[in-house]
Structure formats: C-alpha cells, structure tokens
Amino acid sequence: METKQQTNKQLEKVSDLIEDIRIAMLTTVDEQGNLVSRPMAALQVDEDGTIWFFTKRTSPKVDQIENNQHKVNVSFADVSDASYVSVSGTAQELDDRAKVDELWNPQAKAWFPKGKDDPELILLKVHIDMAEYWNSSDSTMVRLFQQATAAITGNPPKMGENEKVYN
C-alpha cells in the first residue's frame, strides 16, 4: 500500500504502522443493527488521512455506509510485529476515474474482471476521524517472556505503545 507524508503529524505513526498491512477489515452496520466486517485491500493513505479502497457500486456495504451516517471502522493487524490499528472514520463512495487510474493494480482485476473501466468499480474513501494503535517494538520472544511473567506475578504485561490520535 502506498502511504503519503501526513499533514497531521500525529497520523504519521498510524500511517507508518498500516503501510505494510495490505488487508484491512472494514466494519459497517447492517439493516438489523448488526456489525458486519469484511476484508478489504487498502490501496493508499493520502496526506490528509484518507484511506482509499475499491468497491462495487452495488455492494451492500455502500447502502450500509449511507444508512449509518457514513460512519465506519477499519482495523489493521500485523500479528508478527504486534502492530494493531483501529480507525474510526467517515466513508464516502466516489466515482473518480482519474483516481481509479492512479490506484489501479493488477490484483484488482480478480474483483473487477472488466478492468478499471468496469462500471461496477467505484472508490471508497475513509477519512480518519480517530485512530488508536497498539505497537510493540519488542521481539516475539520478549513479548512471550513478558506474558509469562505477567501470568506468574499477576501484573499485566507492558506490551508497547498505545495511543489515540485525532485528525
């Protein structure tokens, strides 16, 4: 995924953490009020904290986004590096062919067999309102040791950074 230098410096850490995590889970609310999550390929995080995705014009998530005042959650997880990011944001569908051209990649053809000119293809942009991240710079062995020590002592392990960031 491409990430651009953030104009909001607080989002720089969030952008850095999600840069190498290609697949995110996008959560919306369905008609019955259930939380519904699905995997989505994140394409780009631009300068103002907008995460870009491709989606189908007729996808149920498009209606769910509109029916829930455009509020969504996007979560990223890199278990091997113990990096986790949860983004609360505002989503919007957009039919911008120039942006589609900019973000198009060969993997997208699996979902859009007619290519970037597929009439079903639109963009989903999620503007980050708030993000929270958890990140440990410790190795897996150190994290396991901290968890074992916590189990013995009854004190919660210190597993790295945790911060909320507002845009």
- Look up residue 145 and give its two tokens: 């040791």
- Look up residue 13 and give its two tokens: 């850490």
In this prediction, residue 141 carries a pLDDT of: 47
User: Model confidence over 59-86: pLDDT tens digits?
Assistant: 999 999 998 899 999 999 998 888 899 9
Q: Stretch 141-167: mean pLDDT, rounded?
A: 63
- Look up residue 144 and give its two tokens: 């396991």
CA-CA-CA-CA torsion sign (109, 76, 122, 65) = positive
Q: What are phi and psi of 103, to 5 degrees?
A: -95, -10
CA-CA-CA-CA torsion sign (139, 165, 86, 57) = negative
Residues in the chain: 167
- Look up residue 146 and give its two tokens: 């901290």
In this prediction, residue 9 carries a pLDDT of: 79
DSSP annotation string for 127-147: EEEEEEEEE--S-HHHHHHHH
**What letters, b where the CB count within 10 A reaches 16 and e where it falls short, cover 99-135?**
bbeebbeeebeeebeeeeebeebbbbbbbbeebebbb
Q: What is the CATH number of the domain that holds 70?
A: 2.30.110.10
User: Model confidence over 19-41: pLDDT tens digits?
Assistant: 889 899 999 999 999 999 999 99
The residue range of the domain holding 118 is 2-166
CB-based contacts of 101: which residues, under 8 Å, 6+ apart?
Answer: 116
Q: What are phi and psi of 81, to 5 degrees?
A: -100, 0
Q: What does the mean pLDDT of the chain come to?
A: 87
Cβ atoms of residues 140 and 78 within 8 Å: no
What total of structural domains would you count in the chain? 1
